[in-house]
Structure 1
Amino acid sequence: MNTRPNFPQPLDIADHDALWQWIQRHYRAEGEWRTLWLNGLPLGRLNLQWHEQIVKDWQGGLEIRADGLALNADNWLAMGDSLQYMAAKWSRSGLLKGWRNECFDVFDTEGKPLFVLERAAFRPLGLQSHAVHVNGLACADEQWQFWIGRRSPYKAVAPDKLDNLVGGGITAGESALEALVRESQEEAGLPSDLFCHAETVSRLHSVRSVPRGLHDEILHVFDVVLPPGFEPENQDGEVASFSLFTVADLTAAMHKDLLMDDSLLVTLDAFRRFGLLLPDHPLTQWLRSRQVGGQ
Protein backbone atom coordinates (compact mmCIF):
# COMPACT_ATOMS: atom_id res chain seq x y z
CA MET A 1 0.00 0.00 0.00
CA ASN A 2 1.19 3.52 -0.85
CA THR A 3 2.07 5.22 2.43
CA ARG A 4 1.71 8.71 0.95
CA PRO A 5 -1.91 9.87 0.66
CA ASN A 6 -3.03 10.11 -2.94
CA PHE A 7 -6.32 11.58 -4.13
CA PRO A 8 -7.54 11.09 -7.70
CA GLN A 9 -9.05 14.47 -8.59
CA PRO A 10 -9.66 17.97 -7.21
CA LEU A 11 -12.94 19.22 -5.79
CA ASP A 12 -15.36 20.70 -8.29
CA ILE A 13 -15.52 24.44 -8.83
CA ALA A 14 -18.77 24.84 -6.88
CA ASP A 15 -17.07 23.42 -3.78
CA HIS A 16 -14.12 25.77 -4.27
CA ASP A 17 -16.41 28.78 -4.55
CA ALA A 18 -18.52 27.87 -1.52
CA LEU A 19 -15.49 27.21 0.68
CA TRP A 20 -13.86 30.44 -0.45
CA GLN A 21 -17.01 32.33 0.56
CA TRP A 22 -16.89 30.62 3.97
CA ILE A 23 -13.27 31.68 4.46
CA GLN A 24 -14.07 35.29 3.58
CA ARG A 25 -16.89 35.35 6.15
CA HIS A 26 -14.94 33.76 9.00
CA TYR A 27 -11.32 34.86 8.56
CA ARG A 28 -11.47 38.58 9.05
CA ALA A 29 -10.89 40.95 11.91
CA GLU A 30 -13.97 43.14 11.99
CA GLY A 31 -14.14 46.45 13.80
CA GLU A 32 -11.50 48.91 14.95
CA TRP A 33 -8.22 47.48 16.24
CA ARG A 34 -5.49 49.33 18.07
CA THR A 35 -1.90 48.21 18.48
CA LEU A 36 -0.79 47.06 21.92
CA TRP A 37 2.82 48.08 22.52
CA LEU A 38 4.67 46.25 25.29
CA ASN A 39 8.03 47.74 26.32
CA GLY A 40 8.25 49.33 22.89
CA LEU A 41 7.31 46.27 20.80
CA PRO A 42 4.02 46.00 18.83
CA LEU A 43 2.91 42.61 20.15
CA GLY A 44 -0.88 42.75 20.39
CA ARG A 45 -4.08 44.24 19.01
CA LEU A 46 -6.99 45.55 21.04
CA ASN A 47 -10.62 46.27 20.34
CA LEU A 48 -12.18 49.31 21.99
CA GLN A 49 -13.57 47.33 24.95
CA TRP A 50 -10.21 45.92 26.03
CA HIS A 51 -8.38 49.14 25.23
CA GLU A 52 -10.60 50.99 27.72
CA GLN A 53 -10.36 48.19 30.29
CA ILE A 54 -6.56 48.27 30.23
CA VAL A 55 -6.51 52.06 30.59
CA LYS A 56 -8.67 51.59 33.68
CA ASP A 57 -6.78 48.68 35.27
CA TRP A 58 -3.10 48.86 34.24
CA GLN A 59 -0.87 49.78 37.17
CA GLY A 60 2.40 50.47 35.33
CA GLY A 61 3.61 52.97 32.78
CA LEU A 62 0.96 53.75 30.16
CA GLU A 63 0.80 55.97 27.10
CA ILE A 64 -2.24 56.41 24.87
CA ARG A 65 -1.02 56.82 21.29
CA ALA A 66 -2.81 57.69 18.09
CA ASP A 67 -2.29 54.14 16.83
CA GLY A 68 -2.80 52.28 20.09
CA LEU A 69 -1.76 51.79 23.67
CA ALA A 70 1.77 51.51 25.05
CA LEU A 71 2.44 49.69 28.34
CA ASN A 72 5.81 49.82 30.04
CA ALA A 73 7.48 47.88 32.85
CA ASP A 74 11.01 47.71 34.22
CA ASN A 75 11.79 44.47 32.35
CA TRP A 76 10.02 41.56 30.66
CA LEU A 77 9.59 39.60 33.88
CA ALA A 78 7.86 42.59 35.44
CA MET A 79 5.74 43.01 32.32
CA GLY A 80 4.59 39.40 32.49
CA ASP A 81 3.83 39.64 36.21
CA SER A 82 1.83 42.86 35.77
CA LEU A 83 -0.21 41.48 32.87
CA GLN A 84 -0.86 38.26 34.81
CA TYR A 85 -2.03 40.26 37.83
CA MET A 86 -4.39 42.34 35.68
CA ALA A 87 -5.77 39.27 33.88
CA ALA A 88 -6.34 37.47 37.19
CA LYS A 89 -8.28 40.48 38.43
CA TRP A 90 -10.43 40.33 35.31
CA SER A 91 -11.01 36.62 35.86
CA ARG A 92 -12.06 37.07 39.50
CA SER A 93 -14.54 39.77 38.51
CA GLY A 94 -16.06 37.59 35.77
CA LEU A 95 -14.86 39.89 32.99
CA LEU A 96 -12.42 37.32 31.61
CA LYS A 97 -13.80 33.83 30.96
CA GLY A 98 -12.02 30.53 30.39
CA TRP A 99 -9.17 30.75 32.89
CA ARG A 100 -7.10 27.55 32.51
CA ASN A 101 -4.14 27.93 34.88
CA GLU A 102 -2.03 27.24 31.79
CA CYS A 103 0.53 29.65 30.38
CA PHE A 104 1.71 30.37 26.86
CA ASP A 105 4.93 32.08 25.84
CA VAL A 106 4.82 35.60 24.46
CA PHE A 107 7.45 35.98 21.74
CA ASP A 108 9.07 39.00 20.16
CA THR A 109 8.94 39.59 16.41
CA GLU A 110 12.05 37.41 15.94
CA GLY A 111 10.60 34.43 17.81
CA LYS A 112 12.45 34.95 21.10
CA PRO A 113 10.36 34.18 24.22
CA LEU A 114 9.90 37.26 26.40
CA PHE A 115 7.58 36.19 29.23
CA VAL A 116 4.75 33.79 30.02
CA LEU A 117 1.06 34.61 30.48
CA GLU A 118 -2.18 32.78 31.22
CA ARG A 119 -3.56 31.60 27.89
CA ALA A 120 -7.03 33.06 28.57
CA ALA A 121 -5.52 36.56 28.36
CA PHE A 122 -4.15 36.15 24.83
CA ARG A 123 -7.40 36.88 22.96
CA PRO A 124 -8.30 40.06 24.91
CA LEU A 125 -4.78 41.40 24.40
CA GLY A 126 -4.55 40.18 20.80
CA LEU A 127 -1.26 38.41 21.50
CA GLN A 128 0.00 35.73 19.13
CA SER A 129 -0.11 32.14 20.39
CA HIS A 130 1.08 28.87 18.86
CA ALA A 131 -0.72 25.53 18.46
CA VAL A 132 -0.21 22.12 16.86
CA HIS A 133 -2.72 20.42 14.56
CA VAL A 134 -2.54 16.91 13.14
CA ASN A 135 -4.16 15.67 9.95
CA GLY A 136 -4.77 11.99 10.61
CA LEU A 137 -5.02 9.88 7.45
CA ALA A 138 -5.71 6.23 6.76
CA CYS A 139 -6.37 4.10 3.70
CA ALA A 140 -9.72 2.35 4.20
CA ASP A 141 -12.13 0.83 1.69
CA GLU A 142 -9.44 1.35 -0.97
CA GLN A 143 -9.41 5.14 -0.59
CA TRP A 144 -7.61 7.66 1.55
CA GLN A 145 -9.71 9.15 4.34
CA PHE A 146 -9.32 11.60 7.23
CA TRP A 147 -9.67 10.76 10.91
CA ILE A 148 -11.86 13.49 12.44
CA GLY A 149 -12.65 13.98 16.11
CA ARG A 150 -15.92 15.21 17.57
CA ARG A 151 -15.39 17.51 20.53
CA SER A 152 -16.94 16.59 23.85
CA PRO A 153 -20.42 18.05 24.48
CA TYR A 154 -19.00 19.34 27.76
CA LYS A 155 -16.31 21.51 26.17
CA ALA A 156 -16.66 25.17 27.11
CA VAL A 157 -15.77 26.22 23.55
CA ALA A 158 -17.56 24.78 20.52
CA PRO A 159 -18.99 21.59 22.07
CA ASP A 160 -19.83 18.81 19.58
CA LYS A 161 -17.95 20.52 16.76
CA LEU A 162 -15.77 18.43 14.43
CA ASP A 163 -12.03 18.82 14.83
CA ASN A 164 -8.73 17.57 13.42
CA LEU A 165 -7.42 14.29 14.79
CA VAL A 166 -5.32 16.33 17.24
CA GLY A 167 -5.21 20.03 18.04
CA GLY A 168 -3.94 21.97 21.03
CA GLY A 169 -1.93 24.91 22.27
CA ILE A 170 1.84 24.88 22.71
CA THR A 171 2.41 25.64 26.38
CA ALA A 172 5.16 27.82 27.84
CA GLY A 173 8.64 26.35 27.36
CA GLU A 174 7.39 23.61 25.06
CA SER A 175 8.53 22.95 21.48
CA ALA A 176 6.07 22.18 18.69
CA LEU A 177 7.31 18.58 18.59
CA GLU A 178 6.89 18.17 22.35
CA ALA A 179 3.36 19.57 22.12
CA LEU A 180 2.65 17.25 19.19
CA VAL A 181 3.61 14.14 21.17
CA ARG A 182 1.78 15.27 24.33
CA GLU A 183 -1.44 16.33 22.62
CA SER A 184 -1.48 13.26 20.37
CA GLN A 185 -1.29 10.95 23.37
CA GLU A 186 -3.85 12.88 25.42
CA GLU A 187 -6.40 13.46 22.67
CA ALA A 188 -6.08 10.39 20.48
CA GLY A 189 -3.92 7.81 22.30
CA LEU A 190 -1.30 7.91 19.55
CA PRO A 191 2.02 6.23 20.44
CA SER A 192 5.05 8.53 20.39
CA ASP A 193 6.91 6.31 17.92
CA LEU A 194 4.52 7.51 15.19
CA PHE A 195 6.40 10.81 15.36
CA CYS A 196 10.00 9.64 15.29
CA HIS A 197 10.53 11.43 11.98
CA ALA A 198 7.76 14.02 12.28
CA GLU A 199 8.23 17.26 10.39
CA THR A 200 6.05 20.33 10.21
CA VAL A 201 4.32 20.28 6.81
CA SER A 202 2.77 23.76 7.15
CA ARG A 203 2.79 26.76 9.42
CA LEU A 204 -0.42 28.72 9.00
CA HIS A 205 -1.16 32.19 10.33
CA SER A 206 -4.74 32.21 11.62
CA VAL A 207 -6.24 35.62 12.39
CA ARG A 208 -9.89 36.41 13.06
CA SER A 209 -12.07 38.32 15.47
CA VAL A 210 -13.68 36.23 18.24
CA PRO A 211 -16.07 37.14 21.08
CA ARG A 212 -13.16 37.35 23.52
CA GLY A 213 -11.07 39.66 21.32
CA LEU A 214 -8.63 38.71 18.56
CA HIS A 215 -7.54 35.18 17.69
CA ASP A 216 -3.97 35.43 16.36
CA GLU A 217 -2.25 32.06 16.20
CA ILE A 218 0.47 30.21 14.33
CA LEU A 219 -0.72 26.67 13.55
CA HIS A 220 2.10 24.11 13.32
CA VAL A 221 0.63 21.40 11.10
CA PHE A 222 1.67 17.76 10.94
CA ASP A 223 0.39 14.84 8.84
CA VAL A 224 0.32 11.32 10.24
CA VAL A 225 -0.71 8.12 8.47
CA LEU A 226 -2.24 5.73 10.98
CA PRO A 227 -1.47 2.01 10.62
CA PRO A 228 -4.19 -0.26 9.16
CA GLY A 229 -6.68 -1.23 11.83
CA PHE A 230 -5.51 1.39 14.33
CA GLU A 231 -8.31 3.45 15.87
CA PRO A 232 -7.60 6.60 17.88
CA GLU A 233 -8.94 6.67 21.42
CA ASN A 234 -9.29 9.78 23.55
CA GLN A 235 -7.54 9.78 26.93
CA ASP A 236 -8.45 13.13 28.53
CA GLY A 237 -12.21 13.38 28.03
CA GLU A 238 -12.03 16.26 25.55
CA VAL A 239 -13.03 14.23 22.48
CA ALA A 240 -16.31 12.32 22.34
CA SER A 241 -15.50 10.11 19.34
CA PHE A 242 -13.42 9.66 16.20
CA SER A 243 -14.66 8.79 12.71
CA LEU A 244 -13.18 8.29 9.27
CA PHE A 245 -14.39 10.82 6.70
CA THR A 246 -14.05 10.50 2.95
CA VAL A 247 -13.14 13.68 1.09
CA ALA A 248 -16.75 13.98 -0.05
CA ASP A 249 -18.10 13.57 3.48
CA LEU A 250 -15.57 16.01 4.90
CA THR A 251 -16.33 18.59 2.21
CA ALA A 252 -20.04 18.26 2.96
CA ALA A 253 -19.33 18.80 6.67
CA MET A 254 -17.39 21.95 5.80
CA HIS A 255 -20.33 23.30 3.80
CA LYS A 256 -22.58 22.74 6.85
CA ASP A 257 -20.15 24.64 9.13
CA LEU A 258 -19.62 21.59 11.32
CA LEU A 259 -15.85 22.00 11.75
CA MET A 260 -13.93 24.23 14.12
CA ASP A 261 -12.65 27.26 12.24
CA ASP A 262 -8.94 26.43 12.56
CA SER A 263 -9.59 22.75 11.87
CA LEU A 264 -11.29 23.71 8.63
CA LEU A 265 -8.33 25.92 7.74
CA VAL A 266 -5.86 23.10 8.48
CA THR A 267 -7.93 20.61 6.50
CA LEU A 268 -8.24 22.92 3.50
CA ASP A 269 -4.47 23.39 3.56
CA ALA A 270 -4.10 19.59 3.47
CA PHE A 271 -6.48 19.54 0.50
CA ARG A 272 -4.23 22.11 -1.18
CA ARG A 273 -1.07 20.11 -0.55
CA PHE A 274 -2.67 16.84 -1.72
CA GLY A 275 -3.87 18.34 -5.02
CA LEU A 276 -7.56 18.54 -4.11
CA LEU A 277 -7.70 22.29 -4.80
CA LEU A 278 -7.18 24.04 -8.12
CA PRO A 279 -3.86 25.95 -8.08
CA ASP A 280 -5.23 29.20 -9.53
CA HIS A 281 -8.44 29.46 -7.51
CA PRO A 282 -8.60 32.40 -5.03
CA LEU A 283 -9.11 29.91 -2.18
CA THR A 284 -5.81 28.20 -2.98
CA GLN A 285 -4.00 31.51 -3.39
CA TRP A 286 -5.33 32.72 -0.03
CA LEU A 287 -4.17 29.51 1.66
CA ARG A 288 -0.70 30.06 0.25
CA SER A 289 -0.75 33.60 1.63
CA ARG A 290 -1.38 32.20 5.12
CA GLN A 291 1.89 30.25 5.06
CA VAL A 292 4.60 31.32 7.51
CA GLY A 293 8.28 30.73 6.87
CA GLY A 294 8.01 29.65 3.25
CA GLN A 295 6.22 26.36 3.88
Structure 2
Amino acid sequence: MSDFYYFMIEGHEKPFGYVHSSFIAAMMPWSNLWSLNHKKRFLTLHSFPNDVQSRTNAMQTTLRSAYNNGTVSYWANELFPIYSSTGGHILDMDGCGVDPFGIVSYAVHMIAYVTTKGNEIETRKFWVPRRSKTKMSYPGMLDNTVGGSLRSGERPIDCIVREAAEEGGVPEEYTREHVKACGTLSYQMDRTDDGKEGRQHQVQYLYEMEVPEGFVPKPCDGEVEEFMLMGIEEVVGALRRGEFKLNCGMTWMSYLVRHGIVDAENEERLVEICARMHRKLDLFVV
Protein backbone atom coordinates (compact mmCIF):
# COMPACT_ATOMS: atom_id res chain seq x y z
CA MET A 1 0.00 0.00 0.00
CA SER A 2 3.03 2.32 0.02
CA ASP A 3 2.07 3.62 -3.45
CA PHE A 4 -1.48 4.50 -2.41
CA TYR A 5 -3.33 7.15 -0.43
CA TYR A 6 -6.56 6.44 1.42
CA PHE A 7 -9.59 8.24 -0.01
CA MET A 8 -11.31 9.60 3.09
CA ILE A 9 -14.44 11.70 3.52
CA GLU A 10 -14.76 14.09 6.42
CA GLY A 11 -16.84 12.61 9.24
CA HIS A 12 -16.12 8.97 8.35
CA GLU A 13 -13.42 6.79 9.90
CA LYS A 14 -13.08 4.18 7.16
CA PRO A 15 -11.61 4.85 3.70
CA PHE A 16 -13.83 4.79 0.64
CA GLY A 17 -11.09 3.84 -1.79
CA TYR A 18 -7.38 3.67 -2.55
CA VAL A 19 -5.84 6.39 -4.76
CA HIS A 20 -2.55 5.73 -6.54
CA SER A 21 0.21 8.24 -5.81
CA SER A 22 0.54 9.03 -9.54
CA PHE A 23 -3.01 10.45 -9.52
CA ILE A 24 -2.22 12.43 -6.36
CA ALA A 25 0.83 13.96 -8.07
CA ALA A 26 -1.01 14.70 -11.32
CA MET A 27 -3.68 16.70 -9.48
CA MET A 28 -1.29 18.85 -7.42
CA PRO A 29 -2.01 21.34 -6.03
CA TRP A 30 -5.32 19.98 -4.72
CA SER A 31 -8.08 22.53 -4.20
CA ASN A 32 -9.32 23.63 -0.78
CA LEU A 33 -12.09 21.02 -1.11
CA TRP A 34 -9.41 18.52 -0.10
CA SER A 35 -6.68 18.05 2.47
CA LEU A 36 -3.58 15.87 2.10
CA ASN A 37 -1.84 14.16 5.00
CA HIS A 38 1.34 12.68 3.56
CA LYS A 39 2.33 10.99 6.82
CA LYS A 40 -0.93 9.04 7.13
CA ARG A 41 -1.37 8.99 3.33
CA PHE A 42 -4.89 10.42 3.69
CA LEU A 43 -6.66 12.31 0.90
CA THR A 44 -9.74 13.76 2.60
CA LEU A 45 -12.77 15.36 0.94
CA HIS A 46 -14.41 18.29 2.74
CA SER A 47 -17.74 19.82 1.85
CA PHE A 48 -19.85 22.63 3.25
CA PRO A 49 -22.59 21.93 4.07
CA ASN A 50 -21.81 18.29 4.76
CA ASP A 51 -24.61 16.62 2.78
CA VAL A 52 -24.91 14.27 -0.21
CA GLN A 53 -25.45 16.99 -2.81
CA SER A 54 -22.60 19.16 -1.54
CA ARG A 55 -20.21 16.21 -1.47
CA THR A 56 -21.34 15.26 -4.97
CA ASN A 57 -20.74 18.80 -6.21
CA ALA A 58 -17.25 18.84 -4.67
CA MET A 59 -16.35 15.51 -6.28
CA GLN A 60 -17.74 16.54 -9.67
CA THR A 61 -15.72 19.77 -9.58
CA THR A 62 -12.57 17.75 -8.88
CA LEU A 63 -13.26 15.22 -11.63
CA ARG A 64 -14.06 17.94 -14.15
CA SER A 65 -10.67 19.47 -13.36
CA ALA A 66 -9.00 16.06 -13.79
CA TYR A 67 -10.70 15.64 -17.16
CA ASN A 68 -9.80 19.14 -18.33
CA ASN A 69 -6.11 18.69 -17.48
CA GLY A 70 -5.94 15.23 -19.09
CA THR A 71 -5.45 13.25 -15.87
CA VAL A 72 -8.56 11.22 -16.75
CA SER A 73 -9.11 10.48 -20.41
CA TYR A 74 -12.91 10.57 -20.68
CA TRP A 75 -16.08 11.97 -19.12
CA ALA A 76 -18.67 9.22 -18.62
CA ASN A 77 -21.64 11.55 -18.09
CA GLU A 78 -23.18 8.93 -15.79
CA LEU A 79 -23.36 9.18 -12.02
CA PHE A 80 -22.38 6.24 -9.83
CA PRO A 81 -22.95 6.03 -6.07
CA ILE A 82 -20.52 5.77 -3.17
CA TYR A 83 -21.80 4.07 -0.02
CA SER A 84 -20.44 3.96 3.51
CA SER A 85 -19.51 0.69 5.23
CA THR A 86 -22.96 0.75 6.84
CA GLY A 87 -24.77 1.25 3.53
CA GLY A 88 -25.42 4.97 3.69
CA HIS A 89 -25.47 6.93 0.42
CA ILE A 90 -22.55 9.36 0.71
CA LEU A 91 -22.18 10.94 -2.73
CA ASP A 92 -22.39 10.37 -6.47
CA MET A 93 -19.47 10.66 -8.88
CA ASP A 94 -19.04 10.61 -12.63
CA GLY A 95 -17.91 7.21 -13.86
CA CYS A 96 -14.51 8.57 -14.87
CA GLY A 97 -13.60 8.75 -11.17
CA VAL A 98 -14.40 5.15 -10.21
CA ASP A 99 -10.95 3.77 -11.04
CA PRO A 100 -8.77 6.75 -9.99
CA PHE A 101 -10.39 6.86 -6.54
CA GLY A 102 -10.43 3.07 -6.18
CA ILE A 103 -13.97 2.92 -4.83
CA VAL A 104 -16.29 -0.10 -4.61
CA SER A 105 -18.45 -0.12 -7.72
CA TYR A 106 -21.47 -2.23 -8.59
CA ALA A 107 -22.30 -3.87 -11.91
CA VAL A 108 -24.59 -6.43 -13.54
CA HIS A 109 -23.45 -9.22 -15.88
CA MET A 110 -25.62 -11.68 -17.79
CA ILE A 111 -24.85 -14.83 -19.76
CA ALA A 112 -27.50 -15.59 -22.39
CA TYR A 113 -27.80 -19.04 -23.91
CA VAL A 114 -29.77 -21.10 -26.42
CA THR A 115 -30.83 -24.66 -25.65
CA THR A 116 -30.58 -27.02 -28.61
CA LYS A 117 -31.72 -30.62 -28.77
CA GLY A 118 -30.09 -33.34 -30.85
CA ASN A 119 -30.35 -37.11 -30.44
CA GLU A 120 -32.57 -36.39 -27.44
CA ILE A 121 -29.65 -34.62 -25.70
CA GLU A 122 -30.03 -30.98 -24.69
CA THR A 123 -26.99 -28.75 -25.02
CA ARG A 124 -26.43 -25.06 -24.42
CA LYS A 125 -24.74 -22.58 -26.69
CA PHE A 126 -23.86 -19.12 -25.49
CA TRP A 127 -24.07 -15.69 -27.07
CA VAL A 128 -20.58 -14.25 -26.61
CA PRO A 129 -19.81 -10.70 -27.79
CA ARG A 130 -16.50 -9.39 -29.06
CA ARG A 131 -15.83 -5.90 -27.79
CA SER A 132 -15.46 -3.13 -30.32
CA LYS A 133 -11.88 -2.41 -31.36
CA THR A 134 -12.57 1.26 -30.60
CA LYS A 135 -13.31 0.58 -26.91
CA MET A 136 -10.93 2.34 -24.54
CA SER A 137 -10.59 -0.75 -22.35
CA TYR A 138 -9.95 -4.32 -23.55
CA PRO A 139 -10.69 -3.61 -27.24
CA GLY A 140 -11.43 -6.69 -29.33
CA MET A 141 -11.64 -9.05 -26.35
CA LEU A 142 -14.51 -11.39 -25.50
CA ASP A 143 -17.12 -10.40 -22.93
CA ASN A 144 -20.29 -11.52 -21.19
CA THR A 145 -23.48 -11.33 -23.25
CA VAL A 146 -24.45 -8.01 -21.68
CA GLY A 147 -23.34 -6.06 -18.64
CA GLY A 148 -22.75 -2.65 -17.19
CA SER A 149 -22.46 -0.52 -14.08
CA LEU A 150 -25.35 0.44 -11.83
CA ARG A 151 -26.23 4.10 -12.01
CA SER A 152 -27.01 6.02 -8.87
CA GLY A 153 -30.42 4.96 -7.53
CA GLU A 154 -30.78 2.09 -10.02
CA ARG A 155 -31.79 -1.41 -8.93
CA PRO A 156 -29.79 -4.37 -10.30
CA ILE A 157 -32.83 -5.84 -12.09
CA ASP A 158 -33.59 -2.51 -13.78
CA CYS A 159 -29.94 -2.18 -14.78
CA ILE A 160 -29.76 -5.61 -16.45
CA VAL A 161 -33.03 -4.94 -18.30
CA ARG A 162 -31.65 -1.62 -19.55
CA GLU A 163 -28.27 -3.08 -20.53
CA ALA A 164 -29.85 -6.03 -22.36
CA ALA A 165 -31.88 -3.60 -24.45
CA GLU A 166 -28.99 -1.19 -25.07
CA GLU A 167 -26.23 -3.72 -25.77
CA GLY A 168 -28.11 -6.66 -27.26
CA GLY A 169 -31.42 -5.37 -28.55
CA VAL A 170 -33.36 -7.63 -26.16
CA PRO A 171 -36.91 -6.35 -25.55
CA GLU A 172 -37.32 -5.16 -21.97
CA GLU A 173 -40.46 -7.24 -21.44
CA TYR A 174 -38.64 -10.43 -22.45
CA THR A 175 -35.75 -9.81 -20.07
CA ARG A 176 -38.01 -9.05 -17.12
CA GLU A 177 -39.95 -12.26 -17.69
CA HIS A 178 -37.06 -14.66 -18.35
CA VAL A 179 -33.90 -13.41 -16.62
CA LYS A 180 -32.76 -15.37 -13.55
CA ALA A 181 -30.64 -13.98 -10.73
CA CYS A 182 -27.63 -16.18 -9.87
CA GLY A 183 -25.92 -14.49 -6.93
CA THR A 184 -22.92 -12.18 -6.83
CA LEU A 185 -19.17 -11.92 -7.30
CA SER A 186 -16.93 -9.54 -5.37
CA TYR A 187 -13.29 -9.03 -6.24
CA GLN A 188 -10.38 -6.64 -6.38
CA MET A 189 -7.83 -6.05 -9.13
CA ASP A 190 -4.50 -4.24 -9.11
CA ARG A 191 -5.00 -2.31 -12.34
CA THR A 192 -7.58 0.08 -13.70
CA ASP A 193 -9.72 -0.56 -16.77
CA ASP A 194 -7.36 1.49 -18.92
CA GLY A 195 -4.33 -0.48 -17.73
CA LYS A 196 -2.94 2.04 -15.24
CA GLU A 197 -1.70 1.22 -11.75
CA GLY A 198 -4.55 1.39 -9.27
CA ARG A 199 -7.19 -0.58 -7.43
CA GLN A 200 -10.54 -1.87 -8.66
CA HIS A 201 -13.10 -3.11 -6.17
CA GLN A 202 -16.31 -4.40 -7.72
CA VAL A 203 -19.47 -6.29 -6.85
CA GLN A 204 -21.16 -8.06 -9.77
CA TYR A 205 -24.81 -9.10 -9.70
CA LEU A 206 -25.00 -12.21 -11.89
CA TYR A 207 -27.80 -13.26 -14.22
CA GLU A 208 -28.55 -15.98 -16.76
CA MET A 209 -31.24 -15.95 -19.43
CA GLU A 210 -32.39 -18.46 -22.03
CA VAL A 211 -33.28 -17.00 -25.42
CA PRO A 212 -35.10 -18.70 -28.33
CA GLU A 213 -33.10 -20.46 -31.04
CA GLY A 214 -34.10 -17.90 -33.65
CA PHE A 215 -33.05 -14.91 -31.58
CA VAL A 216 -29.80 -13.13 -32.50
CA PRO A 217 -28.56 -10.26 -30.28
CA LYS A 218 -28.01 -7.01 -32.14
CA PRO A 219 -25.20 -4.59 -31.22
CA CYS A 220 -27.04 -1.34 -30.57
CA ASP A 221 -24.68 1.08 -28.82
CA GLY A 222 -21.41 0.69 -30.71
CA GLU A 223 -19.67 -1.18 -27.89
CA VAL A 224 -19.87 -4.63 -29.51
CA GLU A 225 -18.30 -5.66 -32.81
CA GLU A 226 -20.20 -8.94 -33.14
CA PHE A 227 -22.06 -11.65 -31.22
CA MET A 228 -20.93 -15.25 -31.66
CA LEU A 229 -22.75 -18.45 -30.69
CA MET A 230 -20.24 -20.65 -28.85
CA GLY A 231 -20.36 -24.06 -27.21
CA ILE A 232 -19.04 -24.56 -23.69
CA GLU A 233 -15.83 -26.17 -24.98
CA GLU A 234 -15.17 -23.08 -27.11
CA VAL A 235 -15.80 -20.81 -24.13
CA VAL A 236 -13.42 -22.79 -21.90
CA GLY A 237 -10.78 -22.77 -24.64
CA ALA A 238 -11.06 -18.99 -25.00
CA LEU A 239 -10.78 -18.60 -21.23
CA ARG A 240 -7.60 -20.67 -21.16
CA ARG A 241 -6.12 -18.55 -23.96
CA GLY A 242 -6.89 -15.32 -22.11
CA GLU A 243 -9.29 -14.02 -24.75
CA PHE A 244 -11.89 -12.72 -22.27
CA LYS A 245 -11.85 -9.35 -20.52
CA LEU A 246 -10.38 -10.07 -17.08
CA ASN A 247 -13.42 -9.56 -14.87
CA CYS A 248 -15.66 -11.33 -17.41
CA GLY A 249 -13.43 -14.37 -17.07
CA MET A 250 -14.49 -14.48 -13.43
CA THR A 251 -18.15 -14.30 -14.43
CA TRP A 252 -17.65 -17.30 -16.69
CA MET A 253 -15.70 -19.18 -14.02
CA SER A 254 -18.62 -18.60 -11.64
CA TYR A 255 -20.94 -20.10 -14.27
CA LEU A 256 -18.67 -23.15 -14.68
CA VAL A 257 -18.61 -23.75 -10.93
CA ARG A 258 -22.33 -23.11 -10.51
CA HIS A 259 -23.19 -25.74 -13.12
CA GLY A 260 -20.66 -28.33 -11.95
CA ILE A 261 -18.45 -28.06 -15.03
CA VAL A 262 -15.55 -27.08 -12.78
CA ASP A 263 -15.53 -28.98 -9.49
CA ALA A 264 -13.21 -30.40 -6.85
CA GLU A 265 -12.55 -33.48 -8.97
CA ASN A 266 -11.08 -31.60 -11.93
CA GLU A 267 -9.74 -28.41 -10.31
CA GLU A 268 -7.50 -28.73 -7.26
CA ARG A 269 -7.60 -24.96 -6.65
CA LEU A 270 -11.40 -24.82 -6.43
CA VAL A 271 -11.54 -23.52 -2.85
CA GLU A 272 -9.05 -20.75 -3.56
CA ILE A 273 -10.80 -19.80 -6.80
CA CYS A 274 -14.18 -19.51 -5.07
CA ALA A 275 -12.67 -17.50 -2.21
CA ARG A 276 -11.06 -15.04 -4.62
CA MET A 277 -14.40 -14.55 -6.39
CA HIS A 278 -16.16 -13.67 -3.13
CA ARG A 279 -13.90 -11.17 -1.38
CA LYS A 280 -15.19 -9.13 1.52
CA LEU A 281 -14.72 -5.58 0.23
CA ASP A 282 -14.31 -3.92 3.61
CA LEU A 283 -11.74 -1.18 2.97
CA PHE A 284 -9.55 -0.25 5.92
CA VAL A 285 -6.40 1.66 6.88
CA VAL A 286 -3.33 -0.57 7.13
TM band (smaller chain):
0.7 to 0.9
Give the SS at the match of 2:6.
Answer: strand
Task: Please tell me whether residue 87 in structure 1 is matched to residue 45 in structure 2.
Answer: no
What corresponds to 2:283 in structure 1? none
Give the SS at the match of 1:77.
Answer: helix
Task: Please tell me whether residue 50 in structure 1 is matched to residue 35 in structure 2.
Answer: no
What corresponds to 1:183 in structure 2? 163
Structure 1 unaligned regions, length at least 5: 1-29
Give the SS at the match of 2:60.
Answer: helix
What corresponds to 2:42 in structure 1? 68
Q: Is this contact kept in 1: 2:131–2:139, CA < 8 A?
A: yes
1:194 and 1:69 mapped to 2: Cα distance? 42
What corresponds to 1:217 in structure 2? 202
1:31 and 1:190 mapped to 2: Cα distance? 46
Q: Is this contact kept in 1: 2:178–2:209, CA < 8 A?
A: no
Give the SS at the match of 2:99.
Answer: helix
- What is the TM-score of this pair, normalised by structure 2? 0.84
Task: Please tell me whether residue 150 in structure 1 is matched to residue 124 in structure 2.
Answer: no
Q: Is this contact kept in 1: 2:131–2:140, CA < 8 A?
A: yes
Deviates more, 1:54-63 or 1:74-83: 54-63
Q: Pick the aligned partner of 2:261 from 254, 257, 276.
A: 276
Which protein has the bigger helix share? 1
Equivalenced residue count is 264
Cα deviation for residue 248 of structure 1 reads 1.4
Amino acid at match of 2:259: F
1:196 and 1:231 mapped to 2: Cα distance? 18
Q: Is this contact kept in 1: 2:55–2:90, CA < 8 A?
A: no
What corresponds to 1:165 in structure 2? 145
What corresponds to 1:200 in structure 2? 181
1:270 and 1:203 mapped to 2: Cα distance? 11
Q: Is this contact kept in 2: 1:277–1:284, CA < 8 A?
A: no
What corresponds to 2:6 in structure 1? 35
What corresponds to 1:264 in structure 2? 249
2:2 and 2:238 mapped to 1: Cα distance? 29
Identity %: 22
1:157 and 1:31 mapped to 2: Cα distance? 26
Cα deviation for residue 58 of structure 1 reads 3.3
What corresponds to 1:137 in structure 2? 113
Task: Please tell me whether residue 290 in structure 1 is matched to residue 270 in structure 2.
Answer: no
1:92 and 1:55 mapped to 2: Cα distance? 14
Q: Is this contact kept in 2: 1:278–1:284, CA < 8 A?
A: no
Q: Pick the aligned partner of 2:234 from 218, 237, 249.
A: 249
- What is the TM-score of this pair, normalised by structure 1? 0.82
Cα deviation for residue 55 of structure 1 reads 5.8
Deviates more, 1:106-115 or 1:233-242: 106-115
Amino acid at match of 1:194: T
Cα deviation for residue 266 of structure 1 reads 0.3
The one-character-per-residue Cα deviations of 1:139-159 (angstroms, maximum 9, x if unpaired) are 236421221001112222222
Cα deviation for residue 110 of structure 1 reads 2.6
Q: Is this contact kept in 1: 2:130–2:226, CA < 8 A?
A: yes
Amino acid at match of 2:32: Q
1:61 and 1:160 mapped to 2: Cα distance? 39
1:242 and 1:158 mapped to 2: Cα distance? 16
The one-character-per-residue Cα deviations of 1:204-254 (angstroms, maximum 9, x if unpaired) are 113112234322211111011112222111222211111111121111111
Two-structure CA RMSD over aligned residues (Å): 2.2
What corresponds to 1:8 in structure 2? none
Q: Is this contact kept in 2: 1:59–1:82, CA < 8 A?
A: no
Cα deviation for residue 260 of structure 1 reads 0.6
